[in-house]
Copies of this chain bind each other. A is one copy, B any other.
């Protein structure tokens, strides 16, 4: 696998601190007998929201001046995942720019083998205009 958001796998992997447990549901499998390609994005979303809440970066939906949105998402499928497997879904801030930051994702099986990796950009916007706006100093501080 050559994945353009991972330079050095060991270094990249050791940068994660936060994870949530995921137990694969039957409804998340498909007729090929393993987890459907759509399901990892459900896991990424759950991990992302828990992580942003943990960091304190979530923005209130009623806040008219500030919101964060998902600009893109991607997932690399390393190994098949099966019903009832218990995964650890890691997420971290990989980098931050002026108005956006990148989250990286990694899912491990019980034997700590990587089964999924991914990334996606989060953008800070003004929800009234839809335009991007600079990350606040507080946001940046919480990401460090």
Contacts and interface: CB of A to CB of B under 8 A. Distances in A.
Interface of A: 3, 25-27, 29-34, 36-38, 41-42, 45-46, 49, 61, 69-77, 83
Contact of A27 (B25, B45, B74): B45
A56 to B, nearest CB: 15
Copies in the complex: 4
A83 B27 contact: no
B31 A42 contact: no
Contacts of A83: 31
Contact of A73 (B3, B25, B33, B74): B74
Contact of A31 (B29, B41, B69, B73): B29
Given A25-B42, A45-B27, A61 B32 contact: yes
Contacts of A32: 31, 61
Given A27-B37, A29-B31, 12 more contacts: A26-B36, A27-B45, A31-B31, A31-B32, A31-B61, A31-B83, A32-B61, A37-B45, A37-B70, A38-B41, A71-B76, A72-B77
A84 B45 CA distance: 12
Contacts of A70: 37, 77
